[in-house]
Structure 1
Amino acid sequence: MTIALLFVLTAFIIVVGWYALPFLVRRRSESLLRDKVRGSLVLSYDDGPGTDLTAELLDLLDAENLRATFFMIGDAAAARPDRVAEVLARGHEVGSHTQSHSNAWKVPPLRAIRDMRAGRVTVDALGGDGTLFRPPYGKLTLGTLAAAAGWRLAWWSIDPRDSWAPRPIDEVLAEVEAAQGGVILLHDFDKPRRDQLSPSDHHDYVLEMTRRLILLAKQKGWAVRTMGDLMRDGADV
């Protein structure tokens, strides 16, 4: 084997490992999560806090005496500290979703790590728990995985795709019912990032999905829990 070929092979192994190992960690965690959440429901909302949608979700959850987990972007949280305080005052959980929603697969490694750490600092300063962390787009590299050592990585088991291509609500509910529960990924930002969705359509979809999920949980006798509650039960999720 020539030195050049050995160099190429080594570089290939490093690059694959940079992405593949964290991906395998995620897949294992998701498998454990699906088992752990069976018989219960976790409502989680990413990319906020927003204004109108977050407020209406809080009212809806209050009316049902339920608690949810909000994974906030640091920039949005810093811009709306009163909304963050309201979420916490109503008994909900606030975790971190980085400072500016960097995709760790698409930005330089140090930038991704700095974004993670800045998001934690912001969330902690506002009273949340920055070590409860959901990576944007679910993407990790070996670098960001190492930087998150000691943090609690918060994945999901059901994705309604509300932020870009919403699935029919009945289809999502059927998946949740078949799985006997789940950690639901929704978003409470004000404006979807994809052009095919209007803010009003997204707003209505998230509220209706939340209502229908709560109703399903009642019908099935499932507990509605926060992500932290699920993790504190001792499973490595």
Structure 2
Amino acid sequence: MAAVSLADVALADVAPPSACGPDALGTARVMAVGGGIRVGTKSYPDTLALADREVVLTFDDGPWPATTPAVLDALARECVKATFFLIGENAEARPALARRIVAEGHTVGHHTWSHPILTKIATADALAEIERGMAADDRASYGAAAAPRVPFFRFPGFADTPALLEELARRNVAVFGADLWASDWRQMTPEAELDLVMLRLRDAGRGIVLFHDTKRHTAEMMPAFLRALKAAGYRVVHIVPERIGPERIPAQTIPGRPVY
């Protein structure tokens, strides 16, 4: 995949740490990501062009009433922006939470309508599942279905197929894997999850990090995790869709190496 230039969106678009207090982690910069790319070394050869100790925080499977608000509260206290890959049926059932995610400046990506493993169903049915999820996410988040408004998608279980990847690329949809994950689908204490994620971050040095905002231990861990990022000198990068027109700012992809 050809690399193109990397640039920041105007820093005025980023809430400074001082908005939350001088010790807040904050969001260091915004990266505009173009459609059609595939990133995340758990699944693909390339990843986003992040500097050392830069991380992109992503959350799957929400919104969930018992846990997503606590995750959002923790992010708000630290002026941190993240990307939430929503399940369509969850967004449709809880539009107020989807709207809160958008209102607080986070990015809404897509994670199908009902979280099936798409490799187990026919391509036409898989595409219908993706389209239904995107439309539901957009209706819940913005009040109307778009095309989608944010063309970011993550496969449930990272289970893609060549046909689905080709079709999403044709539609200019960016596909996100991850560079490392919290393994928070396993039951563990918040303390154990924090130790695991920070160990993996130390090994990786940077990357797209996958959490699930549906997991109570992740929600309970999040305040301590954000403080640990600050203490260790990590910086948060917020991903958004690229601008269209003369101000278009695409993201760069770089070859990655598999990490945890």
Is the pair's TM-score, using the shorter chain for normalization, greater than 0.5?
Answer: yes
The offset of 1:28, in angstroms, is 8.9
Asked if the contact 2:40/2:178 (under 8 Å) is kept, the reply is no
Q: What is the number of equivalent residue pairs in this alignment?
A: 201
Which of 220, 224, 230 is the matching residue for 2:236? 224
**Larger RCO (alpha carbons 8 Å, 6+ apart):** 2
The answer to which structure has the higher helix fraction is 1
The offset of 1:108, in angstroms, is 2.0
Hey, what does 2:182 align to over in structure 1?
A: 160
Q: Which runs of 5+ in 1 are unaligned?
A: 1-23, 190-201
Given the superposition, is the C-alpha separation of residues 27 and 92 from structure 1 closer, same or farther in structure 2, using an over 3 Å criterion?
A: closer
Correspondence 1:183 to 2:208 = yes
Deviates more, 1:216-225 or 1:30-39: 30-39
User: Take 2:197 and 2:175, find their aligned partners in 1: how far apart are those partners?
Assistant: 24
RMSD: 2.8
Given the superposition, is the C-alpha separation of residues 28 and 219 from structure 1 closer, same or farther in structure 2, using an over 3 Å criterion?
A: closer
The offset of 1:178, in angstroms, is 2.1
TM-score for both structures, normalised by structure 1: 0.74
Q: Deviations over 1:91-113 (max 9, x none)?
A: 11111101111211112222111
The answer to which structure has the higher strand fraction is 2
Q: Deviations over 1:52-87 (max 9, x none)?
A: 211111111111111111100011101111111111
Asked if the contact 2:123/2:164 (under 8 Å) is kept, the reply is yes
Asked if the contact 2:41/2:179 (under 8 Å) is kept, the reply is no
Hey, what does 1:131 align to over in structure 2?
A: 151
Deviates more, 1:164-173 or 1:114-123: 164-173
Asked if the contact 1:45/1:70 (under 8 Å) is kept, the reply is yes
% identical equivalent positions: 28
Hey, what does 1:171 align to over in structure 2?
A: 196
The offset of 1:216, in angstroms, is 2.8
**Structure 1 letter corresponding to 2:230:** K
Structure with higher Rg: it is: 1
Q: Which runs of 5+ in 2 are unaligned?
A: 1-37, 143-147, 243-248, 255-260
TM-score for both structures, normalised by structure 2: 0.68
The offset of 1:229, in angstroms, is 7.6
User: Take 2:238 and 2:101, find their aligned partners in 1: how far apart are those partners?
Assistant: 13
User: Take 2:73 and 2:40, find their aligned partners in 1: how far apart are those partners?
Assistant: 33
Hey, what does 2:225 align to over in structure 1?
A: 213
